[in-house]
Amino acid sequence: MLEAIQIDGADTSLEEEALQELDDDLQGELIRPTDEGYEQARKVWNGMIDRYPALIVRCADTDDVVRAVRFARQHNLLTAVRGGGHNVAGHGTQDGALVIDLSPMREVSVDADYRTVQAQGGATLGDVDAASQERGLAVPLGVVSKTGIAGLTLVGGLGWLRNRYGLTVDSLLEAEMVTADGQVVIANKDSNADLLWGLQGGGGNFGVVTKFTYQAYPVGPDVFFMMVFYSAENDREVLRAFRDFVAQAPDRVTLLADLGMFPEGSEFPEELQGTAFTALAGLYAGLAGDGERAMAPLRGIAEPLMDISGPMEYVEVQRLFDADYPDGSRYYWKSTNLMELTDAGIDRLLEHTRKQPSQRSTVDLWPLGGAVKRVPKDATAFFGREAAYVLNPEANWADPADDQVNIQWVRDLIESMEEFSDGGRYLNFQGFQEEGDAMMEAAFGASYARLAELKRKYDPDNFFRLNQNIKPAS
């Protein structure tokens, strides 16, 4: 017998015979708490999330996902779905739950003629980038290669190609998905178009996506990447110049401002360690020489502390920040959508940013422009295109004794900036979603009702509930 938790929170026991039958049917692996691989398999990226699921089904293919969903439904089990395991809130696991783990499903295939890329639901950004770049293509994804495409795609996808080619959801052409009753459906613009719309920002609410098909674009192999670090003494002028540049930047330029500190004991030059900075980073989607010219004004705002800009392989850019986010460290991130970046907003932001308790924490400003803005607001379920910036404080620290002070820093910063926001959030950077349904409704605004209807159609019992959850319309 194995103890587990049902979807309504009640305890249940699973018979050995039923478990054995599931195990025999799977191409992949069934991992139980007594198995040798359990300790490793239960871990997710965020060390704040320390959960003990009852069962982990490591799926080898779509049929395994169907088997796992049907088993969970038959036994009414609380069920989590895990792609790359990098959800900040830890939605990919739960105590006592059955985890449908797609991490073995990482195949990627590229059709260079049609410029499309198909990837299995457990692929990482790095998997997709590597295969796409072999054919001179790239899919607009995020900026850290170890993260999963699934959680990123289903909620939005902010990366270095967004102003040129849009969010990840804007490139999603088709999905193969296992529904809450264990059926396989295809969603594209001709078939189940309502579902495709929902998967373009509505999260893991509707089913388990086993394959994503994306539009890809010619990028690289070399691109111009800018990363210039200014002293905090120049904070105000740097952020004002950044804002003014963003307002007229060509679509080929996608930027990020990153406020932080050079951590002591890091690989940065010793004389800089412990110093606060504002870094401006950006990718030019075009010829490297054009990129260098286009971004030159941002590299001469003041005397930089360090400038590592230059032509770089696209895949290298995509891996540049990987080391900043080690597995198992402690993380609490939040976001709010800024409708504009005023001088008063900059001053407020700096006041709170510079109180950061951990030297490894950063505050990111992601401008949204170009292709992101050209997609009509209701064309996808992603609901934040009208924002000028996504503001994203990231508390990153190591010692559990520092949990509270770091979490509070993020909460205070967000609260202090709410007057510059319309209440929208990027739901992949949303703490532990402790604000619940009210925050979800605010984040989806006018699209919430349509999403709740879609949820009722595909998952009326809210079987897929461990996610950025949308309750089925009643």
Ligand X SMILES: Cc1cc2nc3c(=O)[nH]c(=O)nc-3n(C[C@H](O)[C@H](O)[C@H](O)COP(=O)(O)OP(=O)(O)OC[C@H]3O[C@@H](n4cnc5c(N)ncnc54)[C@H](O)[C@@H]3O)c2cc1C
- In contact, 232 and 354? CB cutoff 8 Å: yes
The rounded distance, in Å, linking the Cα atoms of 162 and 170 is 9
Q: Which C-beta is closer to ligand X: that of 87 or that of 336?
A: 87
Question: Considering only CA atoms, which of 200, 105, 101 is closest in space to residue 466?
Answer: 101
Going along 339-388, which residue ranges are E strands?
362-367
* Contact predicate 374/165, CB 8 Å: no
Q: Judged by CB, which is closer to ligand X: 105, or 232? A: 105
At 154 the three-state DSSP class reads helix
CB nearer ligand X, residue 240 or residue 319: 319
**Of 152 and 301, CB closest to ligand X:** 152
| Residue 221: CB atoms within 10 Å | 13
The structure tokens listed for 24 are 């025999």
The C-alpha atoms of residue 128 and residue 140 are separated, in whole angstroms, by: 10
Whichever of 152 and 315 has its CB closer to ligand X, that residue is 152
Residue sitting closest to ligand X (CB) = 151
| Smallest gap from residue 47 Cβ to ligand X (A) | 12
Tell me how far, at minimum, the Cβ of 281 lies from ligand X, in Å.
12
Shortest CB 99 distance to ligand X, Å: 10
**Amino acid making up residue 142:** G
The minimum distance between CB 427 and ligand X, in angstroms, equals 9
- Binding site residues, ligand X, CB under 6 A: 44-45, 81-88, 91-92, 102, 121, 142-144, 147-148, 150-152, 154, 156-159, 203-204, 208-209, 325, 428, 466-467
Q: How far is the CB of 439 from ligand X (least distance, A)?
A: 16
Q: What angle do CA 430, 432, 433 make, to 5 degrees?
A: 65
Give yes or no for a contact between 360 and 257, defined as CB atoms under 8 angstroms apart: no
Is the link from the previous residue into 221 a cis peptide, with omega within 30 of 0? yes
Looking at the Cβ atoms of 215 and 234, the one nearer to ligand X is 215
CB of 219 to ligand X, least distance (A): 16
